[in-house]
Amino acid sequence: MGTTEFSWKLADHPKLPKGKTIALVVLDGWGEADADQYNCVHVAETPTMDALKNGAPERWRLIRAHGTAVGLPSEDDMGNSEVGHNALGAGRIFAQGAKLVDHALASGKIYESEGFKYIQECFDEGTLHLVGLLSDGGVHSRLDQLQLLLKGASEHGAKRIRVHVLTDGRDVLDGSSVGFAETLENDLANLRENGIDAQVASGGGRMYVTMDRYENDWEVVKRGWDAQVLGEAPYKFRNVVEAVKKLREIPNISDQYLPPFVIVDESGKAVGPVVDGDAVVTFNFRADRMVMTAKAFEYKDFDKFDRVRFPKIHYAGMLQYDGELKLPHYYLVSPPEIERTSGEYLVYNGVRTFACSETVKFGHVTFFWNGNRSGYFDSSMEEYVEIPSDSGITFNVKPKMKALEIAEMARDAILSGKYQQVRVNVPNGDMVGHTGDIEATVVACKATDEAVKIILDAVERANGIYVITADHGNCEDMVKRDKKGKPLLDKEGNIQVLTSHTLQPVPIAIGGSGLPAGVRFRADVPDGGLANVAATVMNLHGLEAPADYEQTLIEVVD
Ligand SMILES: O=C(O)[C@H](O)COP(=O)(O)O
Ligand SMILES: [Mn+2]
Ligand SMILES: [Mn+2]
């Protein structure tokens, strides 16, 4: 077999010119669904997006954004930002964390990993702490994986286990945390019957405790640290089911935002603070919302908040969360090796890139886009700008978020003539969609559309090209439905609001005054998905995509 030497240099596209400015816009959580009153894209005034859809059928289409198209275990798995932006940026489909963890647990290989052996060293004398999101959402973690890990760890020598739960209600229905807590309690009771001292030790809602991302608000991580490590929290309960039920009674408190609590014994003492000699595993496989906590557990020098105590522990992540920082050092399952991403190719092929979003999505168009790698490939060729997000609020309060600021930043970057790729994420449809506030989500969709308009106007002025797409669905369907698509009602006859992502496809539109005539979507890639976008964009930059990238969505007809 002959080998050709690897080169970062890409061949020129035979028909498309180099040097065009491309605006690459990802509308977070913006899928395509049938029109009804729970489809906020439909309800909102969205003239710009409507014009793209209704204007040029050969330059607007739908692409797949969930399930196997983005490396998830099954077609029942909704898409999410991590796998979506990984696919968009890398141009290929990688088996993702959810799937890799499934395999490692099923084969037992997880227990042979260096990471597991490292935490196992603490099992004789210390406690094993498992910290993570308690739901079957499959976006950051999965309950069945936690269950297997609990069983496997006890079979591999863990004698004392403490679980620190984060309630969800964002990737799953609000209120479902009670059921997940009951299931977990039941599993831990079974372990206790088998002589393992296993209990829930602390908890809190994922958006208020521990799972912040991109350093938006370290207070969130601190609340988790205080409850999990120090055993201190404003609420104390004897068991997790009671905790979740009682805290949900607080007005305006949902699963996502439960305040931190600790479980105490009959004398009021926390049952599971983390102390010297313990092992800690963060069992989420998804990276973004574990990086900050991983730093708190791992870094000796740390100044983001006062940890009060920094116990000598053995810490491992379910996966390694940041490939560049090698964080954490120990992990139970190797993450997908997402290399040779489109961003890295571009810097070797003379394409200057500008990437921007607000804090809550900033890492999506940088870190996720580049294969879960922080930092620049080449700072002389790239500029990443983060617009600070509002913190300490739920985004239904300010549903316009920073869409306008992001669009203006993109506009200025396009008009500056300094960049050939201007890449942004507009977060509103997703971030407001997750609150379950339908009225606010309609406002979010309108704001998104206005942002797109600003960017398209700049593209026209710069004689550039636009590629408008999304990473997965969310705001286009805000109600839980039965198999026939009919909204499901709860016992009181109210609709069940869907705070999570969806299984819907997402739109992709191309155009702009700089788009050469004759460029259109091919008809022979009907199953195209997010991973086909990278080759498409490379073509629009006048480059052929690497041979192993998923095929381009476009052709040029004479
Ligand atoms: O982390 C979150 O906010 C949700 O679990 C998933 O949303 P995202 O994948 O759009 O970030
Ligand atoms: Mn997203
Ligand atoms: Mn989301």
pLDDT tens digits for range 336-361? 999 999 999 999 999 999 999 999 99
> Is the CB of 206 inside a 6 Å radius of any atom of ligand 1?
no
> Is the CB of 80 inside a 6 Å radius of any atom of ligand 1?
yes
Architecture of domain 98-333: 3-Layer(aba) Sandwich (3.40)
Q: Which residues contact 21 (CB under 8 A, 6 or more apart)?
A: 414, 417, 419, 420, 421, 422, 459, 462, 463, 464, 465, 514
Question: Residues of the chain whose pLDDT is less than 50?
Answer: 1
The number of the ligand 1 atom at minimal distance from the alpha carbon of 171 is: 5
Q: Cα separations (Å) of 147 from 140, 141, 173, 283, 292?
A: 15, 11, 20, 11, 25
H/E run at residue 317: strand 314-319
- For residue 363, give the ligand nearest its CA: 1
> Is the CB of 430 inside a 6 Å radius of any atom of ligand 1?
yes
User: What topology does CATH give the domain 22-95+339-556?
Assistant: Alkaline Phosphatase, subunit A (3.40.720)
DSSP string, 451-481: HHHHHHHHHHHTT-EEEEEESS-STT--B-B
Could you tell me the distance, in angstroms and rounded to a whole number, from the CA of residue 133 to the centre of ligand 1? 12
Percent of the chain with pLDDT over 70: 99
User: Where in the chain are all domains bearing CATH 3.40.1450.10?
Assistant: 98-333
Active site residue 81: yes
Could you tell me the distance, in angstroms and rounded to a whole number, from the CA of residue 117 to the centre of ligand 3? 34
Give the residue among 513, 514, 522 at the shortest CA–CA distance from 553. Answer: 522
> Is the CB of 84 inside a 6 Å radius of any atom of ligand 1?
no
> Is the CB of 473 inside a 6 Å radius of any atom of ligand 1?
no
- Environment class of residue 182 by beta-carbon count within 10 Å: exposed (0-12), middle (13-18) or buried (19+)? middle
Whether the CB-CB separation of 537 and 22 falls below 8 Å is answered with: yes
> Which ipTM was obtained for this model?
0.98
Could you tell me the distance, in angstroms and rounded to a whole number, from the CA of residue 461 to the centre of ligand 2? 29
Could you tell me the distance, in angstroms and rounded to a whole number, from the CA of residue 64 to the centre of ligand 3? 16
> Is the CB of 66 inside a 6 Å radius of any atom of ligand 1?
no
- For residue 472, give the ligand nearest its CA: 2
Give the residue among 316, 288, 253 at the shortest CA–CA distance from 120. Answer: 316
Could you tell me the distance, in angstroms and rounded to a whole number, from the CA of residue 108 to the centre of ligand 1? 29
pLDDT of residue 1: 46
Could you tell me the distance, in angstroms and rounded to a whole number, from the CA of residue 257 to the centre of ligand 2? 20
> How far is the C-alpha of 18 from the C-alpha of 415, rounded, in Å?
17
The number of the ligand 1 atom at minimal distance from the alpha carbon of 289 is: 1
Question: Taking ligand 2, which is a single-atom ion, which protein residues have CB atoms under 5 Å away?
Answer: 28, 81, 430, 471
> Is the CB of 28 inside a 6 Å radius of any atom of ligand 1?
yes
- For residue 475, give the ligand nearest its CA: 3
> Is the CB of 81 inside a 6 Å radius of any atom of ligand 1?
yes
> Is the CB of 364 inside a 6 Å radius of any atom of ligand 1?
no
User: Where in the chain are all domains bearing CATH 3.40.720.10?
Assistant: 22-95+339-556
The number of the ligand 1 atom at minimal distance from the alpha carbon of 207 is: 3
The number of the ligand 1 atom at minimal distance from the alpha carbon of 80 is: 9
pLDDT of residue 491: 87
0.95 surpassed by pTM: yes
